[in-house]
């Protein structure tokens, strides 16, 4: 899985019928030090993530393992909202701090 | 999924029989700020996208989840025509504006 | 799918038994402007492509959707020989012109 | 598979129910000379790897081949803890030496 | 498939039980001109490849198409030992010459 920040939304009315009702999030990837990368993905969302939250995104056939999505033409899915990231026993991200600061 | 702009078409008469009747679009990828990237994909189309439209493209096995495509040797499919893209609550693309300007 | 030019062949006698009889082509990828890219793929061929022809190559599990290849350990397959590529209503490749010039 | 070093952990409480109980490791990739690369992956762990250990990570649908993970939305899995890596008959990594030095 | 040179081996005793008995090779990728690339893969081996041989490696779900590997968590497999590579009717690699020179 990759770490990504929810940056926005993509709206499409003329789409494959199986995608009706899916909210599509625009995600920007984050590196192992917490910096934004010049790489994005549009993903379906199974956990109710909101703008600015950091999430885990699964790509490829993994995206269709969430019940109800087995036959949707999606290749990326938000599978978790991140609470904390620790690297070398150092906290590099905490959702709680993020919102206290904001 | 990735955001891409429909740039053209690819015609092939000598191809796998399962691909007969498929229109193949040449897509150029677009980044999260709306700029064209030096990266393209040839994709089948399930939504009737036209030249210059911005679309969502699914890659890998996701491309074969559209009914009738389960056993076609395709690894990319246009699954939606984009109406709007919002990043940080700012509208970075609107199909309506695109055509008003054009 | 990606656009590629057939550059050569790869011969292997000591290989997985399921690959016996498969001709393996060395393909070099081509970008959306028709320029050769520093990226290649060795692919099986289902359409009888020859040296210098431009082809469509499908990667990943799509390569095994051609009847008879479902259980071969291949991750790339030539699925069509390209006749023409149009970008912004401009012809950037035509097989006919290619061979007239050659 | 890729070689990676376990750098940390990612905690998510609001996640797909099938991921409950999975420990998620933050891995940084290592190249064929043993140097850390600017590339990471968040992976589930099937072998009990600890911080600073070098591991083998499988990506894509391979990650779901471990019993109990067939229908989890994961695209990366730690499948082994590395003891030694030999390149050109030269030992470039040994878990034993790593811990002796540390 | 990609062309790669067998550079070494990776040993792991604490690994997923399904991987017991698999020899894991460290491969370095080779480009279409025969030059080594800064890109590697650890792969299982179905053909008995040895150090310095040039091989074909299949990645992704293709790696599990070799009988006996259908449910192993592997994403790369050596599927053939290369005898010759021809580009533009020029021989750029021959296993026989390789060993004559060596």
Chains near A (3 or more Cβ pairs under 8 Å): B, D
Is the CB of B61 less than 8 angstroms away from the CB of C63? no
The alpha carbon of residue D90 is apart from the nearest alpha carbon of chain E, in Å, by: 9
Band (A102; pLDDT cuts 50, 70, 90): very low
The alpha carbon of residue A82 is apart from the nearest alpha carbon of chain D, in Å, by: 5
Q: For the segment D45-99, what is each residue's pLDDT rounded down to a tens digit?
A: 999 999 999 999 999 999 999 999 999 999 999 999 999 999 998 999 999 887 5
- Does position C32 have pLDDT exceeding 90, yes or no? no
- Cα(C83)–Cα(E22) distance, rounded to whole angstroms? 45
Helix residue spans in chain B (DSSP H): 95-101
- Does position A9 have pLDDT exceeding 50, yes or no? yes
| Terminal-to-terminal C-alpha distance of chain D | 26
Q: Which among D48, D56, D61 has CB closest to E42? A: D56
Q: Quickly count: other Cβ atoms within 10 Å of residue D45's Cβ.
A: 22
- pLDDT for A33 equals 84
Band (C39; pLDDT cuts 50, 70, 90): very high
Question: Tokens 């009847």 correspond to what residue?
Answer: C67
Domain CATH number, residue D35: 2.40.50.220
The alpha carbon of residue D87 is apart from the nearest alpha carbon of chain A, in Å, by: 27
Q: Which of B46, A101, D58, A59 lies closest to E76 in space, CA to CA?
A: D58
- pLDDT for C99 equals 58
Is the CB of D42 less than 8 angstroms away from the CB of A31? no
State mean pLDDT over C25-38.
93
Task: Confirm or reject contact between E47 and chain C (CB < 8 A).
Answer: yes
- Does position E30 have pLDDT exceeding 60, yes or no? yes
Task: Confirm or reject contact between D38 and chain E (CB < 8 A).
Answer: no
Q: Which of D62, D60, D47, D59 lies closest to D3 in space, CA to CA?
A: D59
- Cα(A43)–Cα(D19) distance, rounded to whole angstroms? 18
Distance of CA D13 to the CA centre of its chain: 21
**Tokens encoding C25:** 């082509």
> Which whole-number Å values give the CA distances from E96 to C10, E3, E53, E54, E84, in the listed order?
14, 17, 11, 11, 9
- Cα(E14)–Cα(A48) distance, rounded to whole angstroms? 37
Band (B34; pLDDT cuts 50, 70, 90): confident
- Cα angle for residues E97, E99, E102 (degrees, 5° grid): 105
- Cα angle for residues C94, C97, C98 (degrees, 5° grid): 85
- Does position A101 have pLDDT exceeding 80, yes or no? no
Phi first, then psi, for residue A94 (nearest 5°) are -140, 125
Q: For the segment A47-67, what is each residue's pLDDT rounded down to a tens digit?
A: 999 999 999 999 999 999 999
CB within 8 A of D43, min separation 6: which ones?
A1, D4, D24, D25, D27, D57, D63, D74, D76, D77, D78
Domain total in chain C:
1
Give the up-direction half-sphere exposure of residue C84: CA atoms within 13 A in the CB hemisphere. Answer: 10
Task: Confirm or reject contact between E40 and chain D (CB < 8 A).
Answer: yes
DSSP D36: E
- Does position D102 have pLDDT exceeding 50, yes or no? no
- pLDDT for B32 equals 81
Task: Confirm or reject contact between D15 and chain A (CB < 8 A).
Answer: yes
- Does position D100 have pLDDT exceeding 60, yes or no? no
Band (E101; pLDDT cuts 50, 70, 90): very low
- Cα(B84)–Cα(B80) distance, rounded to whole angstroms? 12
- pLDDT for E20 equals 93
- pLDDT for E99 equals 58
DSSP B95: H
Cβ-in-10-Å burial (0-12, 13-18, 19+) of C9 comes to middle
User: How much of chain E exceeds pLDDT 90, in percent?
Assistant: 86
Is the CB of E26 less than 8 angstroms away from the CB of D65? no
- Does position A94 have pLDDT exceeding 60, yes or no? yes
Task: Confirm or reject contact between A83 and chain D (CB < 8 A).
Answer: yes
State mean pLDDT over C84-100.
87
The alpha carbon of residue A84 is apart from the nearest alpha carbon of chain D, in Å, by: 5
CB C73 within 8 A of CB E58: yes
- pLDDT for C101 equals 46
Query: Mean pLDDT over all residues of chain C?
Result: 93
Give the mutation candidate from C5, C6, C10 for the E interface (greatest E CB count, under 10 A): C10
Q: Quickly count: other Cβ atoms within 10 Å of residue A84's Cβ.
A: 18
Strand segments (E) across chain A: 2-11, 14-15, 24-30, 36-45, 54-59, 76-81, 84-87, 90-94
Q: For the segment B70-79, what is each residue's pLDDT rounded down to a tens digit?
A: 999 999 999 9
Chains near D (3 or more Cβ pairs under 8 Å): A, E
Q: Which of D54, D77, D3, D66 lies closest to E17 in space, CA to CA?
A: D66
Band (A36; pLDDT cuts 50, 70, 90): very high
> Which letter, b or e, does each residue of E30-42 get, where b requires 16 or more Cβ atoms within 10 Å of its Cβ?
bebeeeeeeebbb
**Residue E18 with chain D: CB contacts under 8 Å:** 65-66
- Cα(C42)–Cα(C27) distance, rounded to whole angstroms? 6
Give the mutation candidate from C6, C27, C75 for the E interface (greatest E CB count, under 10 A): C75
- pLDDT for B99 equals 58
Q: What is the dihedral of CA A26, A79, D12, D26, to 10 degrees?
A: -80
Q: Which residue range forms the structural domain that includes residue C90?
A: 2-101
Q: For the segment C41-53, what is each residue's pLDDT rounded down to a tens digit?
A: 999 999 999 999 9
Is the CB of B74 less than 8 angstroms away from the CB of C47? no
**Residue B2 with chain A: CB contacts under 8 Å:** 41-42
The complex scores an ipTM of 0.94
Q: Which of D73, B75, D60, D70 lies closest to A44 in space, CA to CA?
A: D73
CB E15 within 8 A of CB E22: no
- pLDDT for B102 equals 39
- pLDDT for C97 equals 81
Band (E95; pLDDT cuts 50, 70, 90): very high
- pLDDT for B98 equals 72
- Cα(C45)–Cα(C56) distance, rounded to whole angstroms? 10
Q: Quickly count: other Cβ atoms within 10 Å of residue B51's Cβ.
A: 15
Q: Quickly count: other Cβ atoms within 10 Å of residue B88's Cβ.
A: 10
């Amino acid at each position: 899985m990759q770490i990504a920040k929810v940056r926005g939304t993509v709206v499409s009315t003329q789409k494959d019928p199986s995608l009706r009702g899916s909210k599509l999030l625009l995600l920007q990837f984050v590196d192992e030090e917490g910096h934004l990368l010049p790489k994005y993905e549009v993903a379906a969302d199974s956990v109710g993530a909101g703008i600015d939250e950091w999430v885990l995104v699964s790509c490829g056939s993994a995206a269709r393992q969430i019940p109800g999505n087995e036959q949707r033409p999606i290749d990326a899915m938000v599978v978790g909202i991140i609470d904390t990231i620790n690297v070398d026993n150092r906290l590099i991200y905490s959702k709680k701090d993020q919102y206290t600061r904001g």
